[in-house]
Structure 1
């Protein structure tokens, strides 16, 4: 019998950001909510209590890492095509060496969000990349997750890469998304380290569960997060990266989100302790813990180098000052 785990994002707009040390943008809310779910199941596995181990989605694999139990599959729901996806004209001709073909290839390249607006990295002014706070487009993040896995660097110390089997998108023309993912992640598998692969998800259109209303003026700044086991949702204001006062769940008077980097590191240290990984407990910063996930970092380097070699552009590098902290 198969078990299906659904990851969903139902925001009308990408949350524009960026005044907090640990901003929470819409795609971070999506991924980190799932990471919290994974940490919870790791804690169940390492608890050594038979009933909790049985409920955990993890099992031992043939290497030193854990893997998903047989029959468990992951599915991603998006209520709209992710920003940065190329929009394909109905009668577009993509014959090789034509102008329209080259234009389409350029549009399928990497995109970034700068203060709520999306730009191609191939056309954006260089000074914007160095003077503004930027975020890689949701389309490109999804493509990267399909290569590196949805677990991220920290969890890679404990578990094998986890990939989504299917992506369901609310009532949209999916040709641009299908083409972009297909072209961006091709020809990378053979270069990746062991355990990593290029996972092509099945992409399909489904009814949307939310839509922008006519009286909704301006960008949406609130994001809702929650995962299995939570007693209440958390509402985060993306403009400041903190929980709003009216949120059903609040971590404390500082209103730090349960999805901030500090909270992710706290979960990491708890699991490292339960797994008796002293090497991970001895790390001195969030950044160091991520850098020690050597296979994950190698896979990321291969993926981003491949993108550049294929003409999709260079993945923008962020200043990592905010990662130099410990708890």
Structure 2
């Protein structure tokens, strides 16, 4: 378990004088920088540990991401929950209609899938007959139905560079520019939804009208389009990081901070993460627009030289070793499905659903397919549709969905 030694951090929140706004702001700024630097160091140190001090062939990467958990604002007992690398997406010919292939192997997307897997494990601990396991869980019962995180449990997302898409396309490539502000904040390109390029890097703007991706079309050579990381993180800031299936069990869960190891630009990142959708309203109860703390680190990470590798790695608390996935196929090099694939996570969900049918936040009989289970999470689905409408209404483009056949599998198929 990676933790921060208390002697490294000292007193996190410097004492403000109590009568001065400037003093309070200064204290908060100092705390946020301490947090950002601590989270960054923890993730990098854990990755070093998992790759034999970066000597493993799988230490090669362009982007490193990870999630760190804290209790309140105290980083002394912070814990790395997961780490991941990757910059590429699946080639369309390798799509799976059984949920067995990972579509998107960008590091921050894999980190969030690893976090969801961790949440399933924690909920299983809470439901254990073993009292000790129950007490270790980060979950507790809600007053009404379902479960929620224990008080003061916070998650922090670290990404070694700005996420692809709106946050990155305008990022400065030289240090020292973050205080200059966005000189052209209203350019038409600002805030646009963008998609990743299949089997490559970089992003392109979406069309203004809906793009329907079909299974046949992609298999016949059309490029499989995947929304950029900036757009996906903006979505998490509305619907939560837990996903539609986990929303059967828990309230929405949001990142408390997003920390970049390099290419941090306050204006661009805040616009990409939440400012471009600030007009969102009429969200279902319990959903809201999350505005996490955004920060760079004191000593920005050096640019990773060389060509981006074609693999992605992932690890989460409890795993013995890294899992290595071929980003082109969405599976490992032996053709085996990832522990993070839709099929694997859906299997975990089905087991929990059968145990918890009487305490669910969403009352529904056992769905016949993964697609049906997702659609039955009505409030989550409505929050997502509200977000998509806001993007469209703001002239920022139409959200691109994957071919529906990808989700129409059952565990028996």
- TM-score, normalised with respect to structure 1: 0.85
Q: Which position in structure 1 is the counterpart of 2:404?
A: 320
| Pairing partner for 2:252 from 161, 186, 199 | 161
Give the drift of 1:174. Answer: 1.8
Structure 2 runs not aligned, ≥5 long:
1-70
Instruction: Tell me, in whole angstroms, the C-alpha distance in 2 between the residues paired with 1:166 and 1:93.
Output: 22
Instruction: Tell me, in whole angstroms, the C-alpha distance in 2 between the residues paired with 1:236 and 1:12.
Output: 9
Larger deviation, residues 67-76 vs 80-89 = 80-89
Instruction: Tell me, in whole angstroms, the C-alpha distance in 2 between the residues paired with 1:87 and 1:186.
Output: 20
Give the drift of 1:260. Answer: 1.1
Instruction: Tell me, in whole angstroms, the C-alpha distance in 2 between the residues paired with 1:44 and 1:126.
Output: 42
Larger deviation, residues 143-152 vs 111-120 = 111-120
Give the drift of 1:184. Answer: 2.3
* Distance change >3 Å, CA 232–CA 281, structure 1 → 2: farther
Matched, 1:180 2:272: yes
* Structure 2 SS opposite 1:235: strand
The alignment yields a C-alpha RMSD, in angstroms, of 2.8
Larger Rg: 2
| Pairing partner for 1:148 from 222, 239, 260 | 239
Does the 8 Å contact 1:83/1:138 carry over to 2? yes
Instruction: Tell me, in whole angstroms, the C-alpha distance in 2 between the residues paired with 1:67 and 1:311.
Output: 36
* Structure 2 SS opposite 1:299: helix
| Pairing partner for 1:119 from 193, 204, 207 | 204
Larger deviation, residues 48-57 vs 277-286 = 277-286
* Structure 2 SS opposite 1:119: strand
- TM-score, normalised with respect to structure 2: 0.68
* Distance change >3 Å, CA 15–CA 5, structure 1 → 2: farther
Matched, 1:244 2:333: yes
Matched, 1:68 2:149: yes
Structure 1 runs not aligned, ≥5 long:
95-99, 246-253
Larger deviation, residues 227-236 vs 120-129 = 120-129
Q: Which position in structure 1 is the counterpart of 2:226?
A: 135
- Which digits, 9 at most, give the CA deviation of each residue in 1:138-194, with x for residues without a partner? 011011101110000010100111000111101223231123224223122x41101
Matched, 1:232 2:321: yes
Does the 8 Å contact 2:125/2:134 carry over to 1? yes
